[in-house]
């Protein structure tokens, strides 16, 4: 494979952005397109509060799309301290939804990675998730060596250690 120049890469990114904006103009209800636009802007320019609207639009147009949530939740957690309260609540609700819908491995990765600074709030968001799902998440975290560091609401020590 040939390696392109920096100018070529910049040009490709600009074209991709133009194509995304065009696609959104045709289908503004596609939450994945909004997420990709947010990702592209962050990758190209770094985090800028003006781009949070793209992330918000992804939540607005597809709040319960599991396959999108897997990527979007991680991106939301990465920017979490800089988001306003309403956006933070969407990220927390999405995390709880991931656990509630059996996406435990991904939720555990998000918690241990981008979400670690917000672990207390993420764990608190699980308070209304069914107990079996919370126990399942705690077991995954324990297998990953994090069981002692994490206290999931309503999950007892003996439930965490059962494998």
pLDDT in tens, 58-75: 999 999 888 999 999 999
Identify whether residues 75 and 116 lie together within a single domain.
yes
Report the share of the chain in percent with pLDDT over 70: 88
Q: What is the pLDDT of residue 147?
A: 60
CA 136/CA 162 separation, integer angstroms: 10
Which residues, in sequence order, are CB contacts of 9 under 8 Å at separation 6+? none
Identify whether residues 154 and 96 lie together within a single domain.
yes
Residue at which a domain ends, from 62, 77, 104: 62
Report the C-alpha dihedral over residues 10, 110, 124, 59, rounded to 10 degrees: 40
Residue at which a domain ends, from 62, 95, 112: 62
Residue at which a domain ends, from 62, 89, 111: 62
Report the mean per-residue pLDDT for the chain.
89
CA 97/CA 155 separation, integer angstroms: 18
Identify whether residues 93 and 119 lie together within a single domain.
yes
What pTM was computed for the model? 0.87
Q: Report the domain count for the chain.
A: 2
């Amino acid at each position: 494979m040939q390696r392109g120049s920096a100018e070529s890469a910049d040009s490709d990114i600009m074209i991709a952005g133009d194509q995304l904006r065009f696609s959104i103009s045709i289908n503004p209800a596609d939450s994945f397109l909004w997420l990709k636009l947010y990702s592209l802007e962050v990758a190209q320019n770094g985090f800028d509060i003006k781009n949070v609207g793209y992330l918000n639009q992804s939540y607005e147009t597809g709040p319960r799309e599991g396959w999108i949530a897997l990527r979007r939740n991680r991106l939301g957690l990465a920017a979490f301290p800089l988001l306003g309260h309403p956006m933070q609540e969407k990220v927390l609700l999405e995390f709880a939804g991931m656990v509630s819908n059996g996406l435990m491995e991904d939720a555990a990765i998000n918690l241990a990675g981008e979400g670690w600074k917000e672990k207390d709030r993420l764990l608190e968001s699980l308070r209304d998730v069914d107990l079996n799902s919370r126990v399942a998440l705690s077991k995954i975290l324990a297998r990953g060596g994090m069981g002692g560091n994490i206290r999931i609401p309503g999950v007892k020590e003996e439930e965490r250690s059962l494998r």
